[in-house]
Each structure stands twice: as C-alpha cells, then as structure tokens.
Structure 1
Amino acid sequence: MAKDGEWDRRSLLRGAAVVAGAAAAAPLLGNAAPARAASSSDADALFKAGKFEEAGRAYEEILKTDPTNLNAARQRGYVGLLSNRFPEAEKYLTMALKLEPGDKQTNKLLGDCYIRQDKYSLAAPCWQATGDEGYAKWFGALSGETYQINGDLAQLPFQQMDPEPLVEVSVNGGPTKNFSFYTGSPWLQMTATTAKEAGPTPVYKQKSDFEGQSIWQSYGVLDSIKLGDIEVRNVPVAWSELESGGDVPPVTNDGMIGTWFFYHYLTTFDYAGRSLILRRPTPATAKKVRAKAKRAGAAPLPLWLAFDHMVHSTGSIDGSGTRVMAVNLGGNGEIAAGMPGETAEQFGIRTDEDRPLETAAHSHPVVAYPCYPKEVRLGDATAKEAYCNVTSQMALTQPWGIDIWAHLSHCFYKPYNVTLDFTGMNLYIARGKAG
C-alpha cells in the first residue's frame, strides 16, 4: 500500500503474476570471519550481496565510532528483521527512529516488525509516519488478538494443481470456497463476491486505476476462516471490486492466502502429495517437523523474510555458487524460475529471444523470453534444463536493497514438499510426499 511503489497494491488485484517475485542473490556466509568494513558503503555492499551477518557486524562497528549514523542503525535493525529476531530488530530500528523520527524507511521496517508480531496498534503510527493512510487506518482498527488459532493440524487436498493450486476453505461459516495461495502476496484477500457473502465491514477503502478501470480496494477484518480442522478468527483481510461492484477479472479463485497467514504456522506446501499442511507452531511440533525432515534427508536451509512477505533461502543457478533465492510458493505459471537479464548474461544461460512473451509483473507490462538454465537448485532440490524465463526490465537490485538473481516458481516444486519453519527460521525441501 506504500505510495512510493514498493508495495504496489495493484499487483495484488489479479493474484499471482507469472513473472512476479524476486530472489535475493548472494553467497551464504553464516560462519564467516568478522567483517572489517571501513565505511557505510562497505557495509551496504555486504548487505546488497546477501552477506547479512557480515553486514550486521560491519554496521555494529560503524555504530561504535559513530552512534548517530542513521543508515547503520537502520540497516543493522533490518539484518535482525530478515531472520525475525524481533528484540534485535526493534533495538536498532528504535535507535534509528530517535535519530530521525520522520525517516520513512525506518518507519516501514519498524512497522513491518510489529506486523509480524501481530502488534498492529504499534504498527499503525509507523505507517502513518510514512504517509500511508490505508495501512495506518487498517491496523489502527484491528483490536483484540488477531489470528486466533483453534485446532492443531489441517491437511487440505489440492482441488487442482494447474494453473494454480486451489484448496477449500470456509469463510465466516459459509459454504466452501476455492482459495489459491502465494508467498508473493502478503495478506489474506477475497473476491468481491466472496466478501459480499461473508459480510466483513471495511474499515478503509481506496480507489485506484487498473488497466483503464476504476478499482475499489477495501480493508477489514474477517471473523472466521476454516481450513480443514483448523479455524482462525479475527484475521486481517482485503478485497477488491470494480466500480460496478463486480469482481476484478480474471476470476480464477474465490480468494488468496498470503504469507502473513502462513508465518503463523509450521506450513508444508506438499506439492508431491498435492496438499497444504498447517500445524500449530508449538515447540513439540517444531521438534517433530525437524526430526522428520532429518529422516527425509532434508538439511535445514536458512529462511529469510524480506519486505514483510517475500520468502528467501539459498540455492544456485548454473554453477553460480550458493546464492540467496526467492521462494515463491503457490501462484501460477509454467516456469520453474524467472530471472533478470543480468543473470542470464552473467551465467551464459541459453535464451530464446525469437519467442518473446508479452506479459505483466506487478501490474507493469514486461517482455519475457524463454530460457533454459542447465540447473536451478534450492538446497538439494534441482530442476535441470527446465523451462524458465528472463526479463530484461527486471532490476537486479530490488527495492529492499538486495541483488536479485532468480526466483523459484510454481513448477519447480512439483516433485517436492517444502516446509517453512518460522519458529527456527529454516526451510526444508525433500523429494516426494510429506511423510
């Protein structure tokens, strides 16, 4: 909802775009030697390259000699936020805010930090300071405990796999609806038709133009959503409608579940088993999930959350060495991965420029070209000579300050199951059905 284009609300109206999403790319140096960054530019370069822990130490060294350095304090807080280390993130972001109370970047990051902890009343003034009235009013109107979970386990069969996976849910006790899911989208959203049947009251509405049509987007709270044997109450929700009150086309589902929902669970996207598995994230359950992953031979991969909902971990492309990859689970499309032009050029990836695909990413027209990397990898999971695409208009460095080399998409995961463990900030991917 930010007005500077970082969170383009229009990109959420249609759901998951084929070319949407991105990946932070960089060598993983979790056990690297202490950084000896001499300046903010050195530390920023480490962060941009995805060397987050080195960057964090570099920012700390800067703050020891210059405790008034706004960039170092803000970025040090962001390093903590990427791994959901909330006390650490709050410490440095609060420090940055004291240095410059009106700094929009700091307010966005601190607002995100509070969102992830369901502290919406604290997030509201942060977003007000950025000039985002929509977020401020939405979060300010949320009261009580959000995401109240009743039930311990839900296993939702996919009603279809392509062009996007769909699962059945019940909204406010109504008949079952087919919802898609996508970690490239933040909150829970519904079509106008679903919202009219469910009856949530909007706390804020705003008008925008989308492909020549006027669109009203509403933000409110859902009393209840039931997913198999789990019911969740008091859930932030958004829906969009045409000026006429109709659904925004194309209508391919009744709603979409985003990352805000999934980080409240131990979530397994069981593509091979064609199901979505949600578990209450207790210490005992987390221990069982980790033990099961170990038995399946799935080593823990790091899990980073950028921009409030963008999931990242480590992989590689055509012998690039370990890089940070965006993990876009759900959504639609035929590709195994997408990448900016610079990635294809640097690694010499075979690209078919005679067959352009005119499409859109985040509501902006783009031209993509088929490409065929020899191998795309996430941990030990691979796609070899798989159909991917490359987009020259896609920037290598994304707005959240990290170089983006590739994002893994819907078709990559089909032989695998993927578990996101936000309690330990690890990702597990294993071949075959979830046990």
Structure 2
Amino acid sequence: MTSEFDRRSALRAMAVLASTAAAAPLLGESALAQTGPAGDADTLFKAGKFDQAGRAYEKILTTDPGNVRAARQRGYVGLLSNNFPDAEKYLTTAITLAPQDKDANRLLADCYIRQDKFALAAPRWQAAGQENTAKLFAAFRGEPYQIHGDSARVPWQQLDPVPLVEASINGGPPKKLSFYTRVGPLNLSEKTAREAGLQAVAKEQHEFEGKLVWSYYGVLDSFRLGDLELRNIPVRWSDGEARVGADGLIGTWILYHFLTTIDYAGRSLILRRRTPGTARQARAAAERAGAEQLPLWLAREHLLFSKGSVVDSGPRVAGLNIGGTGEMLAGMTQETAKQLRVRIDHDRPLETSAGGQFLTTYPCYPKEVRLGNAIAKDSYCYANDQPALGREGFDVLLHFSHSFYKPYHVTLDFTAMTLHIAQGPAT
C-alpha cells in the first residue's frame, strides 16, 4: 500500500538509515513523451524552471482549455510556491475535467492541508485513493494547528547522531525528539504514543525491509516546544521502538506553520509566528549575515527544495534534507557524479536502505557543493543508482544532508517561500 505520509522516510530516519532524493515519479506520464507546446512545458518543469513552465502551461490552456494535464501541472507549479489561489484554481479545473484524476486530487488535498482546511482535504484524499489519510483529516473537530505563544528558541540536547530537542506531549514530562524535513507529520515512538493516551483513527500494515509494520494515525491534543504550544495536530506512530535515542520526530508539517530557523551553528531550533514583522526581522538578519536569498519549494506535502550546485553544474534544483543523520554532506546519483567528473570510490560500498528497500551507495568527493553562499569543498558525499527524476516529477541534482548544515543556520520563510543560509549562529 502506498504511504500517505512517506512513512518509509520516517522509519528510515528513525532507524538511522541514509535517505535519497529520488523515488517513483509522481505523475503518470513521462515529460519526455510529450511533443509540441505540451512537451516544451513539461521539459521546462522537469528542468526545474517552474515559472517558465507555468507560463507555458497557461499558454496551452488558452488554446486547449480542456487539457487536464496542463491544468494539473499549472496548479502544481502554484502549489510548489504556496501560491494557494493559483493552485486551487487550476487543480479544481483539472478535477472538474477529470474527477477521477488521482494526481490532481492529491495535489488539491495537499493545497488544503497546507492551509489547515482539513474538512476540504478529506474528500480529496478519498478521491486520490488514500483511505487512511482521508480518515485522519475527517476525524478533526475544531481548528487544527492552534498556536499558543509567539516564539520559541529551543536548545539542542545533542547534535549527533541526530539533533535532539525536548518537547512535551499532551502535558507529559519532556521527551527527546529529533526533526527531519523528509517526513510530514509529527511522528512518535510506540511507547510515547501509548504514554500520551493516543487513540488511532486509522491504521495500516506495510512492509519495511522485509518486515510487516503497523502504522497508526491520530489527533494529538497538545504539543509543547519551549514557549510555544500547538493544539489539535496530526500524529503518527508505528510498531516497535526508535533506534536513534529519540522519542519521536518533528516533521515539515510543524515547521511550515512557523518562520523557522534551524540553527546548526547555534545548536537551537527557532520558531516564530509567520507575520510581516517576523519576516522583516528575518530578512534584515539575513542581510547582516551576508546570506543570499534562495527560492524555497515544497513538494508532495513535506519535501523541501531550493537551488544548489555541484562543481560547475550551475544552480539547479536541490533537495533540503535538514535534520536526520549521517556523516555525508550531500548525495547525488552516480550518473550525476560521472557527468560532473566527481571521484567515486567504488572500493568502499555502503549498504544501506531507502524507502524500505536495500541499496548500495558509494563515497564520492566533489571539489565543491554549494547552497547559496554556503560552500563545502572536497567533502565526503555519496553516490547511488537511483534515478535523478524523482516522484516529484522534476530532476533533482543533489540533496544536502545533516552534516552540510553544521557551520550554518538556515531560515525557512514559508510565506515568501524563500530560504536564507548564513554562517555562524543565528542572532
């Protein structure tokens, strides 16, 4: 059964397993299979030229207003940048033209959950064939993600093997939680969920690395992190105990409700309400620190992307795997490494797992990887055999991992959809 929350990524992180930025394509058709204007638009989208692709899809729709794919893709372009009016307009058009289009329904469901419109999201998840996700969002009563407090600066209890912060679940004693932008909702260990008195509103069984695992989904009354409290939020937990010394994992769904700074250099997680005032302060701090403003894209409910480079590749779409674990600074495909003449050490394979499947990766040593003004030279990375075209439907050059961020602090603005990364602790 396909996971609604990328549960395999959650289990992979909790099991201290390396992740990759590639998986099965999101869209049913291959962009390369198209010709003419549609092919041009798809090629632009695949290359990560989203603004240009959006205009190209709009041009198709002016002459072919019944083109489901163009409407769906134009809505997807809007969703990547949290442009909700555009996303809703075009995805609704796609669903009106093709009510059974699962991809369009899933994208519109994502659009609604980002706005905390859970009642509208539930039927769209149902139409997308995601029964358990539909049950979860239909179970909510009242306003989800109620925020109490204005900001929190939470110190890390440790940096490696994973960052840990303390949080309270349903008013209980402090628990040690990590965070990872490769998962969506708050994930808890089975023990922590039981102690918090959580009740499942949906459950499913799936295979992970040859074992059958039950996952459960529920509604958490209270999650307190420093001086902030979130009430009425989605949560998941699984059979078995976490093996990273953590009681749970904070995912992107919590992070994107705030102006979030993940301060590796200062060993703290900083969350502030998303207001014009906090945004101005963050921009001013970034300018003082000499940070370059980068685009921020959000795909498939929780996966973060910006623009990065390897050696002389030039800026291209890059995954932001913030949190998690690992000594490597970045990951890429072997094909990418070979094209950019990056040295791969085939004599020292690393047998690991991604998406619940075993795979082999190899150390590689690019002369430079870059994210804005953040640079690592002659660094330890890895190369794998996964395809560059991920399930997001666009090419991903590389992804930046846990160890890359250690000298820096990263600020994620989910309103302006921009990212700033600067050296040293956040002020």
Question: Is the pair's TM-score, using the shorter chain for normalization, greater than 0.5?
Answer: yes
- Matched-pair contact (CA < 8 Å) for 1:269–1:276: yes
- Matched-pair contact (CA < 8 Å) for 1:267–1:277: yes
Equivalent-residue separation in structure 2 for 1:292 and 1:90 (angstroms): 33
Tell me the equivalent position of 2:358.
365
Residue 168 of structure 1: CA displacement?
A: 0.4
Equivalent-residue separation in structure 2 for 1:141 and 1:410 (angstroms): 35
Match of 2:317 among 315, 320, 324: 324
- Matched-pair contact (CA < 8 Å) for 1:14–1:248: no
Tell me the equivalent position of 2:142.
144
Q: Residue 201 of structure 2: SS of its match in structure 1?
A: strand
Residue 18 of structure 1: CA displacement?
A: 4.5
Tell me the equivalent position of 1:416.
408
Match of 1:376 among 341, 360, 369: 369
Tell me the equivalent position of 1:41.
39
- Matched-pair contact (CA < 8 Å) for 2:161–2:244: no
Equivalent-residue separation in structure 2 for 1:339 and 1:8 (angstroms): 20
- Matched-pair contact (CA < 8 Å) for 2:12–2:18: no
Alignment of 1:397-416 (within 5 A): 397-416=389-408
Which letter does structure 2 place at the counterpart of 1:22?
A
**Where does the alignment leave 5 or more consecutive residues of structure 1 unmatched?**
25-36, 242-246
Alignment of 1:17-416 (within 5 A): 18-22=17-21, 38-241=36-239, 247-392=240-385, 394-416=386-408
Which letter does structure 1 place at the counterpart of 2:205?
K
Residue 186 of structure 1: CA displacement?
A: 0.8
Shift in alpha-carbon separation, 1:340–1:5, aligned structure 2, 3 A: farther
Give me the TM-score of the superposition, normalised by structure 1. 0.93
Which letter does structure 1 place at the counterpart of 2:141?
S
Residue 215 of structure 1: CA displacement?
A: 1.8
Residue 189 of structure 1: CA displacement?
A: 0.7
Tell me the equivalent position of 2:32.
none
Equivalent-residue separation in structure 1 for 2:76 and 2:205 (angstroms): 32
Which letter does structure 1 place at the counterpart of 2:228?
I
- Matched-pair contact (CA < 8 Å) for 2:5–2:183: no
Equivalent-residue separation in structure 2 for 1:396 and 1:271 (angstroms): 28
- Matched-pair contact (CA < 8 Å) for 2:265–2:406: yes
RMSD, aligned α-carbons: 1.6
Equivalent-residue separation in structure 2 for 1:299 and 1:219 (angstroms): 39
Q: 1:334-372: per-residue Cα shift (whole Å, max 9, x none)?
A: 100011111111101000000000000111111000000
Q: 1:42-73: per-residue Cα shift (whole Å, max 9, x none)?
A: 11000000000110010011001000111100
Equivalent-residue separation in structure 2 for 1:255 and 1:186 (angstroms): 13
Give me the TM-score of the superposition, normalised by structure 2. 0.94
- Matched-pair contact (CA < 8 Å) for 2:329–2:403: yes
Equivalent-residue separation in structure 2 for 1:299 and 1:404 (angstroms): 21
- Matched-pair contact (CA < 8 Å) for 1:19–1:338: no
Equivalent-residue separation in structure 2 for 1:310 and 1:15 (angstroms): 14
Equivalent-residue separation in structure 2 for 1:19 and 1:250 (angstroms): 14
Equivalent-residue separation in structure 2 for 1:211 and 1:4 (angstroms): 15
Shift in alpha-carbon separation, 1:178–1:434, aligned structure 2, 3 A: same
Residue 310 of structure 1: CA displacement?
A: 0.7
Q: 1:256-292: per-residue Cα shift (whole Å, max 9, x none)?
A: 0000000000110000001111111111111111111
1:433 maps to 2:422: no
- Matched-pair contact (CA < 8 Å) for 2:12–2:353: no
Residue 146 of structure 1: CA displacement?
A: 0.9
Q: 1:297-352: per-residue Cα shift (whole Å, max 9, x none)?
A: 11211110011111111111111011111111100011000111111111010000
Tell me the equivalent position of 1:34.
none
- Matched-pair contact (CA < 8 Å) for 1:268–1:420: yes
Which letter does structure 2 place at the counterpart of 1:419?
T
Q: Residue 13 of structure 2: SS of its match in structure 1?
A: coil
Equivalent-residue separation in structure 2 for 1:132 and 1:275 (angstroms): 36
Equivalent-residue separation in structure 2 for 1:101 and 1:144 (angstroms): 28
Equivalent-residue separation in structure 2 for 1:14 and 1:398 (angstroms): 18
Residue 389 of structure 1: CA displacement?
A: 0.3
4+ runs deviating over 6 angstroms: none
Equivalent-residue separation in structure 2 for 1:170 and 1:308 (angstroms): 25
- Matched-pair contact (CA < 8 Å) for 1:70–1:96: yes
Shift in alpha-carbon separation, 1:211–1:19, aligned structure 2, 3 A: closer
Shift in alpha-carbon separation, 1:77–1:420, aligned structure 2, 3 A: same
